[in-house]
Amino acid sequence: MEPLVCHDGLVVPLDRDNVDTDAIMPKQFMKSIARTGFGPYLFDEWRYRDAGYYGKPASERTPRPEFALNLPRYAGASVLLARRNFGCGSSREHAPWALHQYGFRVLVAESFADIFFNNCCKNGLLPVRLDAAAIDHLMNAAAATPGYRLRFDLRAQTAIAPAGEHWRFEIAPALKTLLLEGLDETGATLEFADAIRAFEAAHLERSPWL
C-alpha cells in the first residue's frame, strides 16, 4: 500500500449519521473474490436510480444528480466528511476497499464502528474522529465553499483547515504505524522475517523431532 504521512484533499460532505457498510458497498457487488474493482459501486443505491450489478458499465447507469458524489463541484474529492457511527453494520472489508478504490484517502466523522475503523487503517484509509462542534463547522464550510480542502498530518495527528483552524485527532500507535509505512498486518509481520527465520531454525535445532 502507499504510505500516508500527509494528505491534502478536496472535501465532500455526506451529512448523514449511521452510514452502514451495506450502503457503502451493497451486498450484490460482493460476489467477486478479487480485492479490486469495487470503486465504481461505492454508495451504489444512493448514487444511481437503476439497480446495479458487478460489471455493469457506468454508461448504462442513471445517476441521482442530487447525491453529493455526483455533483461536479466534488469531482476528485479524496476526503469524505460524515457524522456519527460511520461504517456500522456488517464487518465486510469490501467497504473500505470500495472507498479507497474510489479515490478517498481520509474519512472524517464524529465516530466510526470499531471494526470498520480498524479495517480502514489496514487498507490505507485514515479515519479521523473529531467532536460534534468540529464536524458541524466543517460541514458548513464544505457546503458553503466550493473547492474546500483539508490537510492531514498523520505524524502530528492534526487536521488543518485553509483558514488555519486545526484539530488534533487520536489513533492507536500500531494503526498509525501501518498507515505511515504503507503496510497491512501481513506486511508488518514480514518486517520481522529475519527474526522469525532465526527463531524457527533455533527451535528446530533444539527440537529436531518436530
Q: What is the structure's pLDDT at 200?
A: 66
CA distances to 11, 59, 99, 138, 182 from 75, rounded to whole Å, are 10, 17, 14, 18, 26
Number of neighbouring beta carbons within 10 Å of residue 33? 5
Determine the Cα–Cα distance for residues 14 and 194; give it in Å rounded to an integer.
Answer: 45
Q: What is the structure's pLDDT at 73?
A: 97
Residue 8 half-sphere exposure toward CB, CA atoms < 13 A: 3
pLDDT tens for the chain, 210 residues long, are 889 999 999 999 999 999 999 999 998 888 776 788 999 999 999 999 999 888 888 889 999 999 999 999 999 999 999 999 999 999 899 999 999 999 999 999 999 999 999 999 999 999 999 999 999 999 999 999 999 999 999 999 999 999 999 999 999 999 999 999 987 665 544 454 566 566 665 666 777 776
Q: What is the structure's pLDDT at 17?
A: 97
For the chain, give the longest Cα–Cα distance: 71
CATH level 3 topology of 6-206: Aconitase; domain 4 (3.20.19)
Closest CA to 129 of 140, 148, 116, 142: 116
Q: What is the structure's pLDDT at 206?
A: 79
48 three-class SS: strand
Look-up: residue for cell 522475517?
A: 193
Determine the Cα–Cα distance for residues 198 and 172; give it in Å rounded to an integer.
Answer: 29
Q: What is the structure's pLDDT at 195?
A: 61
Buried b (16+ CB within 10 A) or exposed e, 119-152: bbbbbbbbbbbbeeebbeebbebbeeeeebbbbb
Q: What is the structure's pLDDT at 190?
A: 47
pTM (two decimals): 0.88
The dihedral built from the CA positions of residue 97, 42, 4 and 83, taken in this order, carries a sign that is: negative
H helices of the chain, where? 21-24, 44-47, 94-102, 114-121, 132-144, 173-181, 185-190, 193-206
Determine the Cα–Cα distance for residues 13 and 68; give it in Å rounded to an integer.
Answer: 7
Q: Which three cell numbers stand for residue 65?
A: 444528480
Determine the Cα–Cα distance for residues 50 and 43; give it in Å rounded to an integer.
Answer: 13
